[in-house]
Structure 1
Amino acid sequence: MNNKITKKELRSVFWRSFALQGAFNYEKMQNIGYAFSMEPIIKKLYSNKDDQAAALTRHLALFNCTPAMTPAILGITTAMEEQYSDDSNKMDPDSINSVKAALMAPLAGVGDSLLFGTFRVIAAGIGASFAKQGSILGPILFLLLYNIPAWLLRIYGLSYGYKWGVNSLEKIQKNGVMNQIMSIVGIIGMMVVGGMVATMLPVKTTLKFSMSGATVKLQSIFNQIIPNLLPLVVTLLVFWLIRKKVSISKLTVAVLILGILLHVIGIL
């Protein structure tokens, strides 16, 4: 495969990645910013307007990750788009979004813990200690100690993400490993979604009834059947409605109103 992407396009992707959250939305989160970051790559790889439109549409899928970790995914995505544009018969374009979906959750976990939970806390502590003494070094040190690691992650993430993709994708395709990777990606994706449902959707009922003089809580019965049964039911219901093309914005408002009403009348 002849490399079509130069440092010029990668620099453009790098600077555009800072606008990742510029059009954040509750339906597909950072997807517009991601597509905006990929635009220079798409224009370089595809001369046909229909191919460019298809590629941009492909990158408008749901995406959400720590901004500083996203350039690594952008680099790998760039390599995959380059491979696909070189020979579309070698790669299913759906695998590009599958890899994005598989990478964004674990990298977000690492990025949030490393940057927001570690570097920012340390930088704020050091900066606050100087600021408390009236020193101008307080805000300067805070900005430097937090942003230097974030910038290094962006720069080397994009560079090594692209190099890893270019050097590995062709071998992976020839060895037939891509199908195995896609299978693993699917399993990991389902595990991540299942874990998020169980830990981040605390839906519980407060309903109870009396039986033979004893009070039985309905939630305890659900827990004995399947732990976190109600979050699972809510998730599957919302998923079914999305498959039926119900607007996510309408669903968000409906779930919010319904949750408030059920809490007020004492069901949840």
Structure 2
Amino acid sequence: MAAASIVKGIQSGGVAATIKHFVCNDFEDQRNSVNAIVSERALREVYLMPFQLATKYANPKSYMTCYNRVQGEHVPNSKKLITDLLRKEWGWDGLVMSDWFGVYNCEKSLEAGLDLECPGGPAMIRKHESLIHQILAREIPQYVIDERVKNILNFIKFGIESGIPANGKENEDNNTAETSAFIRQLADDAIVLLKNENSILPLKPEENICLIGPGAIERRTTGGGSASLNSYYHTTVADALKTKLGRDVPFAMGVQRII
């Protein structure tokens, strides 16, 4: 339900939300080749259920497939998961895109229901000349191409109707004190304390504390890939505590980060 709320919030502003990674994306090691073997019940009740709830209550405009296999088949090639389950059984009619360089077979992915190969031009698998050759040779039926194109055009139409210009310049209109306070409050509200023996938290300003480890003085404001962004401002744990307490907090490196 949290995913559904996020999707609703994004799409309320006319921006298409992409929900990922569909499905059983639990491994980073050998993520392009690992095979997730799960029972049908576990697949539906554990792995598919969050996607099903988000689809039912928020109708995301697009899905992104995972890199891995499920039951021996790469998900971008899975007609069972994309067409039979997602589109037909759940009645969803949006766009399905791959993860970056997450297409492995042109014909199978098209017939499975994968609309868009990402990140796009130049394509790695769905090359123009190869695709035309397969269509002319009747290896890929015309109706399959028509379905994929229809979903892409509907997705583009939704984007155009948002009124947001393509390649528009970024601005800092939302960089206000009110926005900062609101985001901080969201972060505070999201913290869940599982254990608090002897009421050790919250710490009192007059208590003696120290910071240990490189994470205290390094700015970690963004992730990698689609989690990367240019933040309006950033700080470190050490600097934030100094601002809060009005004094320096003792720090020890502890261990060096090895990259």
Note whether the superposition's TM-score is higher than 0.5: no
TM-score (norm. length: structure 2): 0.22
TM-score (norm. length: structure 1): 0.22
Higher relative contact order (CA 8 A, sep 6+): 1
